[in-house]
Amino acid sequence: MRFVRDKEAITIASYVISDIHGQYDMFMELLDKIKFNENDTLYILGDVLDRGPHPIKTLMKLMEMPNAICIVGNHELMALECLEFLMKEITDMSIEELDEKMLENLLTWQYNGSKTTIEEFEKLDAVTKQDVIDFIKDFVIYEEVSVNDKDYLLVHAGLGNYSPEKDIEDYSLHDLIWARADYDVRYFEDKYVISGHTPTQYIKDNPQPGFIYRKNNHIAIDCGACIPGGRLAAICLDTGEEYYTGD
């Protein structure tokens, strides 16, 4: 869609980015490359947090962007399970609450790169901490969009326990945000599934590791922002154009 304002043509477009993993500088570089403006829509496919240097700074940038729609990843789920606990003062009460389940959650999260998220989170005041938690709670589980008569399912991972008979709401949260997509299976004849979660460097027999991967109506866009030599990618739903950080 195009309209003219002040004699300048403005293009309105929708973009999808996934697995930023705290790479704030890469995110800024990519927004600049796509010339993202207030009329555009940005879909974030989860895993904003963990691993990279500035997860909370990235999250707080997204909090300021009313035209960003955030979809939950497994790293946001792990964070949600732990951040409210970490907000509490260390008191007898919170020690008592550190039961086996919470300890397991903390260890799983630590194993998956929570360090930078916790470090940045700890520096916030109590009100901002709560704002961050509330913002993550508002992430949606998936999003279905149509652009130029093409239908897309936007989801962090999935579809675990896939069956062609199943409706999207029949999948569990785990199926959608932890499972590895099966790129050999065409999930839908009439719909593209755009997902992150698995860096395209790790997709077997991928001729272009580290770039957006397309097969069987799958579009995999996690290009390994935290992997050495990896990059952050964006795809424009209106044009199909791909954008990458780096040269």
Instruction: By CB under 5 A, name the binding residues for Mn ion.
Output: 47, 73-74, 197
Q: How far is CA 17 from CA 96, 126, 190, 242, in A?
A: 40, 30, 22, 10
| Cβ at position 70, least distance to Mn ion in Å | 14
| Cβ at position 97, least distance to Mn ion in Å | 27
Closer to Mn ion at the Cβ: 69 or 157? 157
Which residue, judged by CB position, is nearest to Mn ion in the bound state? 197
> In which region does residue 216 sit, left (phi positive, over 0), alpha (psi from -120 to 50) or beta (all else)?
left
Closer to Mn ion at the Cβ: 13 or 235? 235
Tokens of 236: 């424009």
| Cβ at position 75, least distance to Mn ion in Å | 6
Closer to Mn ion at the Cβ: 180 or 186? 180
Q: Residue by residue, what is the 3-state secondary structure of 177-216? A: HCCCCCCCCCCCCCCEEEECCCCHHHCCCCCCCCCCEEEC
Backbone φ and ψ of 124, nearest 5°: -80, 155
CA distance linking residue 16 with residue 40, whole number of Å:
11
Tokens of 145: 């969009």
CA distance linking residue 183 with residue 198, whole number of Å:
11
Closer to Mn ion at the Cβ: 112 or 128? 112
| Cβ at position 157, least distance to Mn ion in Å | 6
| Cβ at position 207, least distance to Mn ion in Å | 23
Q: Which residue has the tokens 């999935």?
A: 158
Determine how many CB atoms are found less than 10 A away from the CB of residue 70.
22
Backbone φ and ψ of 242, nearest 5°: -110, 145
Closer to Mn ion at the Cβ: 197 or 218? 197
Backbone φ and ψ of 201, nearest 5°: -65, -25
Closer to Mn ion at the Cβ: 56 or 113? 113
| Cβ at position 63, least distance to Mn ion in Å | 20
